[in-house]
Structure 1
Amino acid sequence: MSAIDTIRVIPANRPAGIIENIAATLRYWADVRATRNELNRLTDRELRDIGLTRGDIERVARGL
């Protein structure tokens, strides 16, 4: 009789794998998109109130 071990302990100090990198990239893209959309919904006056212009939206969304 054979058995398959489905419970694995993953060391906490292991380097991030490709799946984790892809997931992190997708989360980043989603955050950038959501931030960009929210800022684009603001009027020019509202943007000015928070010290931004339309030209700043992409930079702010990307966190640069």
Structure 2
Amino acid sequence: MAYVASNTQAPLGAVATLRVVDSIYNLKNSVVAWNEARVTRKLLSRLSNEQLQDIGLTRADLF
């Protein structure tokens, strides 16, 4: 059986590039999560107190 040496080091700049891409990806996910929460709060704020109580929430739970 032959032994094959492998280069385990990443190419120059690959780690930095990966960190930049990961940062952009995480920022996008944060913005998406923030927007989903914003839309949900907006929709729930349109409900009456009685409707909120029916689903187990109070007005204070929205914010």
Structure 1 gap segments, 5+ residues each:
1-13, 59-64
Report the number of matched residues. 45
Q: 1:39 aligns with which of 41, 44, 48?
A: 44
- The runs of 4+ residues in structure 1 deviating greater than 2 Å are none
Q: Distance in 2 between matches of 1:21 and 1:49?
A: 36
Judging by fraction of residues, say which structure has more helix: 2
Give the secondary-structure state (helix, strand or coil) at the position aligned to 1:52: coil
Who is 1:21 aligned against? Answer: 26
Who is 2:54 aligned against? Answer: 49
Structure 2 length-normalised TM: 0.63
Query: Which gives a bigger RCO, structure 1 or 2 (Cα 8 Å, sep 6+)?
Result: 1
Alignment deviations for residues 3-62 of structure 1 (CA, whole Å, 9 cap, x no partner): xxxxxxxxxxx777111011001001101101100110101110011111001113xxxx
Give the secondary-structure state (helix, strand or coil) at the position aligned to 1:51: coil
Q: In structure 2, give the amino acid aligned to 1:31.
A: E
Root mean square deviation of aligned Cα: 1.7
Q: Aligned residues: percent identity?
A: 38
Who is 1:7 aligned against? Answer: none
